[in-house]
Copies of this chain bind each other. A is one copy, B any other.
Amino acid sequence: MVARLLAIAAMLSVPVPALADTHIDNIDGISVGRDGSIDRFTGMVIDEDGRISELLDFGDRPTREIEYRIDGEGRVVVPGFIDAHAHLMGIGLGTLVLDLSMTNSLDEALGRIAAYAAAYPDRPWIIGRGWNQERWGLGRFPTAAELDAVVGDRPVWLERVDGHAGWANSMALRAGNVTAATPDPVGGRIERIAGSRAPEGVLVDAAVPIISAAVPPPLPEDRDLALHNAQQLLLSHGVTAVADMGTSVEDWMTFRRAGDAGRLQLRVISYADSVDSMLLIGGPGPTQWLYDDRLRLNGVKLYLDGALGSRGALLNADYSDDHGNRGLPQLSGTQLRNLMSRAALDNFQVAIHAIGDAANAEALGAIEELSRDYQGDRRWRIEHAQIVDPADLPRFGQNGIIASMQPVHQTSDMFMAEARLGPDRLGGAYAWRSVLEAGGLLAFGTDAPVEPIDPLAGLAVAISRTNADGEPDGGWHPEEVITREQALAAYTAGAAYAGFAEGRFGSLTPGERADFVMLSRDPLLANPSELRNIRILETWIAGQRVYDFELQNR
């Protein structure tokens, strides 16, 4: 009930003007070509369908009389950002759980947990994340007994800040059948009460799923609210479209409910989480563009390997910090090709998750083979493309491959990547410039909620290879920086092209939907630190204002 009220209240929070031809004047507008070419304009005419009918230069007048005129007050206007790789429901469901990451003591955390449980009496489980006993200065893990003292009527399950441990109360331990008789799984540990085998409350690493698998899936109402929250977050960051990487059938139904109800403002380019989901959602092929270009199933996301942090990425040689380990394949080469064929047969687009150099080589090889049978405009996508053997970089320039990369991963991962691979195998790491120079196509995103949504941080990293503190000095492998224009293109027109959306949105040109953001500063004239501090003043989709900083922060 709380969730429903919240959803209704939030729906009403952004005023939507009536549809009419609109002339937005006095702006510093920037159109972006996929190749990084830039055009400047000072006015824009938007038709009743929310499409741009004209761009105007200083002194130009619209070719016909427009009744409704808005003064842009000289603001900078760029195409709405397109996050080419995000997890929409992951972002949203993350907003529905208790966040303990800011708590500074066990007592403060327990107080928050008690208050949250009281505020949501109908939730069958209390789910949270973000605790850190180091930050609390506790000197030990917390216990089930401590949780029981504040929530005894329902299971409680709280992930540690790094996701590598979970803290359960007694009811959650029971729900997961964790007892003194439960052995520690390989790669995991159940904390035990001193002097006994009884579980104490915290489970580590591979033991985490024993309880997390028992957590009930979200209700449809929760999914609706999650989508709403994700959408609001994205719009507040100037993101007007996302490629949803790994859409389940439940996710798709949630998107459609929002679209059917007129609540879908964000544009969602969907890649199903499996070939089965793809066929159920799409049927004989990719769906239409639904809801005035707000939703389309393009194809499928396939996982070829894992991640670097957990040493699951597939490498050509052993991990430097784990000899004998070259990662965990998620699909065999044959499986990959079979799934790609099944998708390509009916013109579904294929997006392959490949992080390690061996995975990227395998993906490139599979694309080269499949391209012989499945010709035409396929736009094969490689997601992440983090670690590439330099010898393989030129292959990104063939067969119309799109490298869908996340700039912020570079600064988040750089020290870890050095530990995993050693200094000599990073010549093709996060190699945006090399991909472009090979003739490959770039699409930028964040992998949110793995990284924050903020696209301006992505631009700052792309042009500097430095983090928010400006480190490392001069940038990490600075030979791979790209220009502001190239970075902006990868985050707008390039990401649109990667999703077969060019001509619909992404470049701010006549005929496209009027999706744009008003910024507090020109991103093409800003240094990395200034880029990170640019404020999103307004976000517009299809000629309608869907986010207004002042309104939200009055």
Contacts and interface: CB of A to CB of B under 8 A. Distances in A.
Nearest to A4: B284
A284 B221 contact: yes
A450 to B, nearest CB: 27
Contacts of A221: 283-284
A213 interface: no
Given A260-B290, A261-B288, A288-B260, A253 B223 contact: no
Nearest to A223: B283
A252 to B, nearest CB: 9
Interface in A192-241: 219-221, 223-224
A473 B447 CA distance: 75
B260 A283 contact: no
Interface residues of A, number: 22
Most interface-central of A219, A224, A282, A284 (chain B CB within 10 A): A284
Interface of A: 219-221, 223-224, 249-250, 253-254, 256-257, 260-261, 279-284, 287-288, 290
A260 B261 CA distance: 15
A283 B249 contact: no
Contacts of A223: 283
B284 A220 contact: yes
Given A288-B260, A288-B261, A290-B260, A253 B220 contact: no
A261 B289 CA distance: 10
B260 A281 contact: no
24 contacts: A219-B284, A220-B279, A220-B282, A220-B283, A220-B284, A221-B283, A221-B284, A223-B283, A224-B283, A224-B284, A249-B249, A249-B280, A250-B280, A253-B280, A253-B281, A253-B283, A254-B283, A256-B256, A257-B283, A257-B287, A260-B287, A260-B288, A260-B290, A261-B288
Contacts of A256: 256
Contacts of A249: 249, 280
A223 B220 CA distance: 27
Q: What are the 7 tightest A-B residue pairs by CB atom distance, in nearest-first order?
A: A220-B283, A220-B284, A221-B284, A260-B288, A257-B283, A253-B283, A260-B290
Nearest to A7: B284
A499 to B, nearest CB: 18
A1 to B, nearest CB: 12
